[in-house]
Amino acid sequence: ETGVTQTPRHLVMGMTNKKSLKCEQHLGHNAMYWYKQSAKKPLELMFVYNFKEQTENNSVPSRFSPECPNSSHLFLHLHTLQPEDSALYLCASSQQGQPQHFGDGTRLSIL
Amino acid sequence: AQSVTQLGSHVSVSEGALVLLRCNYSSSVPPYLFWYVQYPNQGLQLLLKYTTGATLVKGINGFEAEFKKSETSFHLTKPSAHMSDAAEYFCAVTEGVAGSNYKLTFGKGTLLTVNP
């Protein structure tokens, strides 16, 4: 059973909608990550937070807006998305010097 | 900059046969290397990791990998495939600093099919 929980598991939204993805970790880790996984492409790192502070923004379009209110929770706010944004969005967490633990992802479909 | 190349996007083996999934990396500093597995509709699960020390590392589910610096490789093997090994496998590299949080670069993945 994963210590990283993502909700919802599936999300279908129109291009004009606003929705949020949620990630929660119960592992006591201090870093959290958002990744995008598209078919036939490597995992793309989107954002990294260390101790609630954003330390990495990998040139992600502004229609994706992350929020990390504390070390256990991470959100990805979505608005005005494009069809090419349809993908599996994975959240991960880690402790310093340790590998990342992944959630099961949110499968996002943009109509 | 670091990069990962996984040779073969799809590997098919028979049950009981040797599994060999290839991974080559590029890194400007001594790398930390990882293999993750992803089952359908799930996230990534860590199979094994190499940081320092012994170059042959053993992981879960009978998998192991050997770090070969001269060949810049970190191939994943399992002596005898099981049907439950069918999944997608990802190799990842980081220019890790001990005690830091890793920024991973992933390969494109290799889908392993196990035939009865």
**pLDDT mean values, one per 10 residues, chain A (111 residues):** 88 92 95 92 90 88 95 95 95 87 95 90
Q: How far apart are CA B106 and CA B85, in angstroms?
A: 20
pLDDT tens for residues B39-89?
A: 988 899 999 999 888 999 999 999 999 999 999 999 999 999 999 999 999
Q: What is the pLDDT, as a whole number, of residue B95?
A: 73
Q: How far apart are CA A81 and CA B51, in angstroms?
A: 39
Between chain A and chain B, the number of residue pairs with CB atoms below 8 A apart is 56
Of A31, A36, A11, A47, the C-alpha closest to A100 is: A31
- Please name the residue that has the structure tokens 């496998």: B89
Which residues of B fall within a CB distance of 8 Å from A56?
103
Burial of A81 (0-12, 13-18, 19+ CB in 10 A): buried
Cα nearest neighbour of A58 on chain B: B103
Q: What is the pLDDT, as a whole number, of residue B28?
A: 79
- Please name the residue that has the structure tokens 């192991």: B64
- In the beta sheet, which residues pair with residue A108? A11, A87
Q: What is the pLDDT, as a whole number, of residue B31?
A: 87
- Please name the residue that has the structure tokens 């954002």: A47
